[in-house]
A and B are shown apart, each in its own frame.
Chain A
C-alpha cells in the first residue's frame, strides 16, 4: 500500500504541532498521529534551539560557565546558577558563609514561585482562559522587581558565584519580600476562584494524562510532575543542600497521578516556598556575602556531581575536571528532557485538547530540554 503523504498506513493523520505553535511555549516540534481527535502517538523532535551549551562550557572557566546556565531553564535561572556554584564549591571545598546561603535559598524560592506563577498562567491559557495569565504576571512582576533591584536583572541574573553571591543584598531586599508575601497571600485565593475550582477546568484536568508511579520512575520524571504521582523525589528533602535540612517545609505529594494532581502539587508548592521564605526573611545572618576565593579557580582532577531541585525537577551538574582552569567535560541533567520523554506515554489515547493540558502540567521550558 502506498502511503499517502501525512497519513500512516492505518489511515491515521499525522500532524506537526510546532515548532511554531501557541501551545508548545517555544520551538518544540511534536509529530502527532491522530485518529479523529484521539491521539495515537506523540513524537517530540528536538534541536530547534540547540546552542551546544555543554560544549561551550568546556572552553569557559569555572567562574564564567555559570552565566550560561541561566540561559537553559530561564525560568529558574537562579537555581541553575546555584547548582553550578555548589558543584564548584564542593570540588574546591569552599565554605560558604551562612549569610550567602540564606540569601541563595531566599532567591531560589522566589524563583520557584515566579516560575510556578508563570506556569499557572500559561497552563490556564493553554486551556483557553486568558485572564489568569495576566493575573499571574502581577505577582510575578513583583518578584522580578525584587530580583532586578538586588541582582540587576529580571531573568538571567548570574548573581550566585562560587563562594557566595556577587554583591551584598540590596537594603530594600527584606522589605520588598515582605511586601510580596503580603500581596501573594491576598491574591492566592483568587487562583482557586478563577481556575482551580472551576468545573470546566477540573473536568479538563481530572483523569487526564495518567502517569503511574512506576512509569514516572522508569521515564525519569522528576519534580512536581513526579510528585503528582506520589513519588517522593524532592532533592531539597532527600539530598539536602545548603541549609534546607534545617528548614521547616513539607514535600508536597499528590496521589492522583493525573494532570490535576500535578497541577495541585505546584499550587501547594508555592505555599511551601512562601513558608520557607517567611522563615528566612527576618533571619538573614550578618557576615560576609562572599568567601574569599582565588582569582583563578582550578578544580582538582576528578568528577563532581551536584543536584538541586529546580521548579521543574531535579537539575544536575556533572563536571569532569582534568585539573585545569576549564572543565574537561560538563553534563547537565535537565529535568525538562526526561519529563518530555513521558509525554508520549501520557498522551496516548487521550484527545487532542488533552495533549495541551498534559504538556502544560509537565511545565516544559524548551531551552532547558534542548540546551
Chain B
C-alpha cells in the first residue's frame, strides 16, 4: 500500500545503496527541509482559504470565489501580492530586531514541526521527550512577538506585545497541565509512545470526564497561546489597529501571518496526537470487522482529518465570540483554568494510579 512510511523507507534504502552514510544523512536532511518548507507553503494556502470560507459561511457570505475555480487560488494570489509589496522598515525602528522578529516566528514554527507524527512511522525526529520539546519551543514564540512589538517603536505595537507576553506566559501553564494529564495516563513523554498507548481507544474516550476537561482546557489554552480570537489581544483589531505587527508590511507581515496559521496547525496536531490518537484509526473494543475497515483508511488521513477538525473548532470560536479584555483574560486563566486544571491533574493521577481508565 502506498503510504508515507513506505515511501520514506524506500527513499532511505535507495540512498543508502547509492551513497555512503554521511551523504545519505545530508540528502535526507535536505529532503526533510524541502518537505517542511513545502508543507508550510501548502498549509498556509489551505488554512487561509479555509479560514476565509469558514468565516464567510458563518457570516452568511460566499467567501472568495473569483480567483481560480471556486476561489481556490485566492490565497495564492494574496501571497503573490504580499511578495511583490515593499517591505518597509519604519524610520524609528530598531532595524535589526525589526527584521529579525518575523524570521524567529517562522523558525519557531518550523522547529515545532520536528516531533509531529504525520502518519504511521512517518516522523522527522522521534525523540523521547517530544512533549517537553513542544512545550519548550512553543514558548519561544513570545520572544518574536515581544521583539516585533518593541522594535517597531510604535505604542500600539508595544502594547500588543506586552499583552501577548502576559497572555502566553500565563496560558502556557494550563496548556502544560492539560498535556501533563495525558503524559500521566500514558506514562511517556514520547509522542510515538503516546500514540501507541491509544491503540485500543483514544484518550478522550478512555479517560472519562477528567480527560475531556483537560481537552477543553487544552483547546482554550492553545487558542490563547496562538493569539487567536477570542484571545487575540495582541492584535485586537478594534483596539490596537493590528497590535504587534502594525508596522509590518509585505513579506515580513506575511511571515507573521503564516506563522500564526502554522502555529494553529501545530497545536491542533499536538492536540490530535495527545487526545485523539494522532494517526491511530478509530477502533471500537472488539468489533473486529469495523476495526478492520477503519484500518483501511490511511493513517495520514486520520491524522490530518483530526487536526483539521480541531482547526475548524478554533476557527469556529474565532468567528463566534467577542474578544476578552486583558484583565478578564488573566482572570480566566488564574482564577478558572489553572485551578480547574490542577484539580483535574490530581484526578487524572489518581485515575492512572488506580487504573480506572479502560
Render B47-86 as a binary contact track against A, CB cut-off 8 A, 1 for contact: 0000000010011110000000000000000000000000
* Chain A residues, CB < 8 A from B322: 124, 127-129, 195, 198, 200-201, 204
Interface size in chain B (residues, C-beta < 8 A): 29
> Complex Cα distance A204/B237, Å?
16
Q: How far is the CB of B334 from chain A (nearest CB, A)?
A: 15
Render A62-94 as a binary contact track against B, CB cut-off 8 A, 1 for contact: 000000000000000000000000000000000
A134 contacts B324, C-beta separation under 8 Å: no
Residues A135 and B60 in contact in the complex (CB < 8 Å), given A127-B238, A352-B159, A353-B236: yes
B232 contacts the other chain (Cβ, under 8 Å)?
A: yes
A356 contacts the other chain (Cβ, under 8 Å)?
A: yes
B320 contacts A194, C-beta separation under 8 Å: yes
B288 contacts the other chain (Cβ, under 8 Å)?
A: no
B239 contacts A131, C-beta separation under 8 Å: no
Q: Report the contact-size class of chain A (Cβ under 8 Å from the partner).
A: 20 to 34
A203 contacts B55, C-beta separation under 8 Å: no
CB nearest neighbor in A for B59: A134
A-B contact count (CB 8 A): 84
B326 contacts A134, C-beta separation under 8 Å: no
* Chain A residues, CB < 8 A from B133: none
CB nearest neighbor in B for A24: B238
B283 contacts the other chain (Cβ, under 8 Å)?
A: no
A126 contacts the other chain (Cβ, under 8 Å)?
A: yes
B321 contacts the other chain (Cβ, under 8 Å)?
A: yes
Q: Name A's interface SS.
A: helix
A351 contacts B327, C-beta separation under 8 Å: yes
B237 contacts A22, C-beta separation under 8 Å: yes
Render B162-196 as a binary contact track against A, CB cut-off 8 A, 1 for contact: 01000000000000000000000000000000000
> Complex Cα distance A6/B153, Å?
12
Q: How far is the CB of B19 from chain A (nearest CB, A)?
A: 54
B335 contacts the other chain (Cβ, under 8 Å)?
A: no
> Complex Cα distance A22/B159, Å?
17
Render A94-132 as a binary contact track against B, CB cut-off 8 A, 1 for contact: 000000000000000000000000000000111111110
Residues A22 and B230 in contact in the complex (CB < 8 Å), given A130-B319, A131-B58, A353-B323: no
B325 contacts A351, C-beta separation under 8 Å: yes
Q: How far is the CB of B57 from chain A (nearest CB, A)?
A: 10
> Complex Cα distance A138/B324, Å?
26
> Complex Cα distance A292/B159, Å?
62
A21 contacts B325, C-beta separation under 8 Å: no
| Known A128-B232, A195-B322, A356-B238; further 19 A-B contacts with Cβ < 8 A | A6-B155, A15-B155, A21-B241, A22-B237, A23-B238, A128-B229, A128-B230, A128-B238, A128-B322, A129-B323, A130-B55, A131-B59, A135-B59, A138-B60, A198-B321, A200-B321, A203-B328, A352-B159, A353-B233
11 contacts between A and B (CB under 8 A): A22-B241, A23-B238, A127-B323, A130-B59, A200-B322, A204-B323, A351-B326, A352-B240, A353-B323, A354-B325, A355-B239
Residues of A with Cβ closer than 8 Å to B? Answer: 6, 13, 15, 21-23, 37, 124-131, 133-135, 138, 194-195, 198, 200-201, 203-204, 351-356
